[in-house]
Structure 1
Amino acid sequence: MEKSYCPIDTFINAVKGKRKGTIILHLSQGNKRYTELARLLTDISERMLSKQLKELEEDGLIERKVFAEVPPKVEYSLSELGKNIHPFLKGMYKGGLLLEKSIESKED
């Protein structure tokens, strides 16, 4: 994650990407294994999901825990930073719902 000219841009750059915000929202409900996230995000390829998880981990928004088992078990959770930005993403979600209602009312 790079610092931008404006903190808003820094925030948006950290969470933009194929379903990063949605991943954070799902993890706010509790730790998830990779397969659970893949089932929740049906519109994203496994390759892209792996890429987004890696980027979120590199940016310090999520944590990845590997359990020493056979087969290996990996679990994802929100980091403290991720927990702190969650309310802002939740606000964006609510804003999206308002915009969708506006779009629907124009279509009627």
Structure 2
Amino acid sequence: MKRDAYGDDGPMHKRQRHADDEVTFLIPSKVAGSIIGKGGSNISKLRNEYKASITVPDCPGPERVLSITASDIDTIMEIVKDILPSLADERPKTDCARRVMTVTSLRRLCDGRDAGYRPY
């Protein structure tokens, strides 16, 4: 005879898997190529080195979405540190107002915890 999965407190619940941390940025389209690398070499190296999911989908606009998903926020911060030089190299050298606009165009969107995300 099979035993019930029910105890006195009702049905047992499956343990939920710990969700990975995810951070999303808007980056200038001009620097997406340097992050991705020729034939995807740079982004593949980052994915393998940090065991993370990094995506930069194609977009026709002036900005593209960079999504980084990893097991912990420290790993994400290390990836961002590796990517930052690519962003700094693409700054315009002449117009001060344009330079300020480029710096502010890298924005962090809300991650799940800040947006009231509830896993199902």
TM-score (norm 2): 0.25
More helix by share: 1
Larger radius of gyration, structure 1 or 2?
2
Give the structure, 1 or 2, with the largest relative contact order (CA under 8 Å, sep 6 or more). Answer: 2
More strand by share: 2
TM-score (norm 1): 0.27
